[in-house]
Amino acid sequence: MTTAAAPAGRLAARVEDIEVFADDLDVAHAAAIYKEYGCLVVRGLMKPYLADVGGDIEATAQQAVALLPRAEKITEGWKTPDGTLFLPAPPGFHRDQQIMVLAVNYQTSAAFFHSAFDKKTVDIVAAILGPDIELFGSGQCLYKEPVGGHPKHLHQDSAYFEHRFEGPVGVLNYAVDTDLVNGALYVVPGSHTMGTLSHVDTFSHLGLDEDEWPWERALPVTGQAGDSIFFHYRTIHGSQENHSPAPRPVFIHRYRRPDDYVTVSASTAQNRAEAEKRAAEAKKSNQRGLMVRGFRRFTEE
C-alpha cells in the first residue's frame, strides 16, 4: 500500500502490510514485500533454534560480565577479551558499563551458525538476491541489558558498511518477546531507496540526526521470540532502551551476493569520511564469506 500522503522516505505501511508467517510461507510474496518496502516480518521463523541460541546468549552474557575487569578501551566503548562490546551504563545501573554487542557469533555458537542455514530463511534471501549466497560477517548479537539498556538510534547499516552492489540482507531475530517497553525494532518502510544518508555520532555510534529522523517517522514492530525482521542495508531502523526487568537480546544474520563486498567501513563520522576516500581500493578477494547456498564462480579482479 503506497499513498501519496506518506512523508518522504516512508511508505504508509502498517505492520500487517509487511508481515508473513513462517508456517504458511509464500516465498515469492515475502520477497515482493521486501523489495517494495525494504523490510519484511516473518513470524515464527527462528522458533526452532530459540532454546539453543538463547542458552548460548545467556552463557556468553555471564562470561562477558565476568571478563569486564579485563576490558580494554576502544573507540566505540570497551571490549572484553571474548570480543564483547560495552557502552557506559545508564544512570543508577549496578555496573559502570552495559553490554551492547555480545560476542555470540558463528565462531562461538554452533546453534547460531546452524540457524543461519535455515531453509525458509535462505529461500527468501535467494528470491531477493539470487541463487548464490554468502554470509556477510560472523553473525551478531545485540543485547540490551534490563532497566535502561542502550538505545540504538535510527540509522542505516550502509553507514557502517557501504557495499559495491546490492549490499547485505539483514535478518534480525527476536530471542525474547519484544515490545515497546523492552526495545522493539523500528523500521522506516521505503527508506531503502533513499541512498545512504549523512550520519552523525551518537551514543550508539553512527545515527541519523534526531531532529530530522524522530522515532515518529518509523514503524515499531513488536513480536514474539522467534519472529524475524528482514531489512535492506539502507532501510532506516533502530530501537529504544530496554525498560523491562529482563535482558532483550536479538541475533542477526546477514547475507549477500558472493561477488559483493564492502567499499566503506566505519563506526564514526570521522572514520567514515576517511574510509570514503579509500573506497575505490576495496576488493572482493579478501572478503570472501562462507557460502550458505549455491556456488562461487571464479572471477578475475
Residues of this chain that interact with ligand AKG (CB under 6 A) are 142, 152, 157, 172, 185, 237-239, 250, 252
The residue among 243 and 284 lying less far from ligand AKG, judged by its C-beta, is: 243
For the bound state, the minimum distance from the C-beta of residue 237 to ligand AKG, rounded and expressed in Å, comes to: 5
The residue among 206 and 286 lying less far from ligand AKG, judged by its C-beta, is: 206
For the bound state, the minimum distance from the C-beta of residue 294 to ligand AKG, rounded and expressed in Å, comes to: 25
Measured CA distances, 69 to 77, 80, 104, 151, 214 (Å): 14, 8, 19, 24, 36
The residue among 252 and 264 lying less far from ligand AKG, judged by its C-beta, is: 252
The residue among 215 and 294 lying less far from ligand AKG, judged by its C-beta, is: 215
The residue among 22 and 172 lying less far from ligand AKG, judged by its C-beta, is: 172
For the bound state, the minimum distance from the C-beta of residue 185 to ligand AKG, rounded and expressed in Å, comes to: 5
For the bound state, the minimum distance from the C-beta of residue 292 to ligand AKG, rounded and expressed in Å, comes to: 19
The residue among 146 and 294 lying less far from ligand AKG, judged by its C-beta, is: 146
For the bound state, the minimum distance from the C-beta of residue 108 to ligand AKG, rounded and expressed in Å, comes to: 18
For the bound state, the minimum distance from the C-beta of residue 151 to ligand AKG, rounded and expressed in Å, comes to: 9
The residue among 168 and 190 lying less far from ligand AKG, judged by its C-beta, is: 168
Q: Are the C-beta atoms of 249 and 176 separated by less than 8 Å?
A: yes
For the bound state, the minimum distance from the C-beta of residue 18 to ligand AKG, rounded and expressed in Å, comes to: 16
DSSP readout, the chain?
---TTSPTT-----GGGGEEEGGG--HHHHHHHHHHHSEEEEETTTGGGHHHHHHHHHHHHHHHHHHGGG-EEETTEEE-TT--EEEEPPTT-SSSEEEEEES-STTT-HHHHHHHT-HHHHHHHHHHH-S-EEE-SS-EEEEEPTTTBPPEEEE-GGGTEEESSS-PEEEEEESS-B-TTTTPEEE-TTGGGS-PPP-EEETTEEE--TTTS-GGGSEEE-B-TT-EEEEETTS-EEE--B-SSS-EEEEEEEEE-TT--EEEE-SSHHHHHHHHHTGGG--STT-PPPEEES-------
